Amino acid sequence: MNRHPLQAGLLVLFCLALLTIITCVPVHAADPVSSADDRVLPIEQAHLAWMAEVSDVEMVAAIAYVETLFGKDTRSMTSLHTDFSKAKSAIGSIPSLSELDNHTILMQETARSFNQETMNQMSSHQGKPANLEAQISKAVNANPYITMKKDAYWAARSTYQLNEFDAWVSDTQNTLNSLQAQGYTVSDTSPYLVRFSSLRPDLKASLNTKDFDRAGSTAVIIRDRSSEITDRIAALQTQVTTDTTADFQLGEAERVIARADRINPQLVKQILDIGDAEPVLSKLKIDVKLARGAQNGGQSGLVYNKLQLIKKDYRDLGAAYRDIAVSASLAPGMADTLMAMSYSLKETADRIGES
């Protein structure tokens, strides 16, 4: 049975709203989660505003078509569209990513109700799906505000990702300079940073295409190259004190928890049962809390033991996300997000040494 045009339109669009950014470079240890979220929020708002504009135009076109059907009743459709338009107007004033997540879910629910009511009217009053789809497509293609919102999103995303790239290069160069001043030999690593810097034009060109696949593929290449440099720098710092290393690794664990706390609720909304992802995350939180307590109490041996448990938690959580990505029916983009998180968890686990 073919899906109704709106089923293939509105619901799919809204599943994408918070899954569009593939981070080019890793968040630095000194970068608070709240600071990173503040920088990402305008991009997520711009993307949701773009998707909402498309859906708003689709709704108006759907109402106009149903109005032509004999015996129709568009009062419910009009009421739902009014609710949706009000929610769309509020997007720019939402102050945090978590609140934007909740706002998106409400808009999804309104869109879903609108879709259902449209299908009810079409079924009850002999509507022709092909005609409805053609009217919606014509309205979307002719609307200049959709193009404006699309351009605004890509402009915001380009500015963010290029700034993050430049900041990462600058911070990494400062790290190498500091290590060199402390007597470390950085001559083997510096050329890698030079070659990494040369990827900036590729990043800019991919963003200029305004194509999700092209921009995402380039971001993955850049992320992999940055990880290579990070690994080389980590190898230079093998003589760092155990206390400093533990503090860094626990800071990483707290940032992992913050990211997982955003991913898991989105998964629950889509597939309800997320298997081991939630219990493993709960265990990670407990292990990190106990490790922090041991660190504050000067119990370095206990900190080491807890870090080994945290390392296993990372691998278990990564495996849980990977299993969901390959086996569950997910919204577009979510599988890529889970695979990227799984890869990041493996890297983070590998940075925790055995001794």
The CATH number of residue 247's host domain is: 1.20.120
Confirm whether 183 is domain-assigned. no
CA distances in angstroms from 87 to 82, 109, 324, listed in the order given: 9, 12, 31
Q: What angle do CA 89, 39, 206 make, to 5 degrees?
A: 95
Per-residue pLDDT, 76:
96
Are residues 142 and 14 part of one domain?
yes
Are residues 141 and 245 part of one domain?
no
**End-to-end Cα distance, the chain:** 59
Are residues 254 and 136 part of one domain?
no
Closest CA to 220 of 203, 204, 232: 203
Confirm whether 281 is domain-assigned. yes
Per-residue pLDDT, 247:
84
Structure tokens at 253: 């664990």
Residues of the chain with pLDDT under 70: 1-36, 182-183, 238-243, 272, 353-355
Structure tokens at 328: 């569950």
Rounded Cα–Cα distance for residues 116 and 122 (Å): 10
Are residues 140 and 31 part of one domain?
yes
Per-residue pLDDT, 169:
93
Per-residue pLDDT, 236:
78
Are residues 135 and 28 part of one domain?
yes
Confirm whether 105 is domain-assigned. yes
Per-residue pLDDT, 59:
94
Q: What angle do CA 245, 251, 255 make, to 5 degrees?
A: 145
What is the DSSP secondary structure assignment for residue 91, as one 8-state letter? G
Closest CA to 136 of 13, 218, 299: 13
Are residues 248 and 140 part of one domain?
no
Confirm whether 215 is domain-assigned. no
Confirm whether 158 is domain-assigned. no
Confirm whether 196 is domain-assigned. no
Domain boundary among 120, 146, 172: 146
Q: What domain range is 60 assigned to?
A: 10-146
pTM, whole model, 2 decimals? Answer: 0.61
**Where are the extended beta strands (E) located within the chain?**
none
Confirm whether 200 is domain-assigned. no
27-81 pLDDT, tens per residue?
444 444 446 678 889 999 999 999 999 999 999 999 999 999 999 999 999 999 9
- Phi then psi dihedrals of residue 300, to 5 deg: -60, -35
Domain boundary among 87, 121, 146: 146
| Residue 164: how many other CB atoms lie within 10 Å | 21
Structure tokens at 303: 């900190």
Are residues 134 and 15 part of one domain?
yes
Q: What number of CA atoms fall less than 13 Å from residue 229's CA on the CB side?
A: 25
Per-residue pLDDT, 73:
94
Per-residue pLDDT, 185:
75
Domain boundary among 146, 174, 194: 146
Structural domains counted in the chain: 2
Per-residue pLDDT, 25:
52
Per-residue pLDDT, 173:
94
Confirm whether 319 is domain-assigned. yes
151-187 pLDDT, tens per residue?
999 999 999 999 989 999 999 999 999 888 766 778 8
Per-residue pLDDT, 271:
79
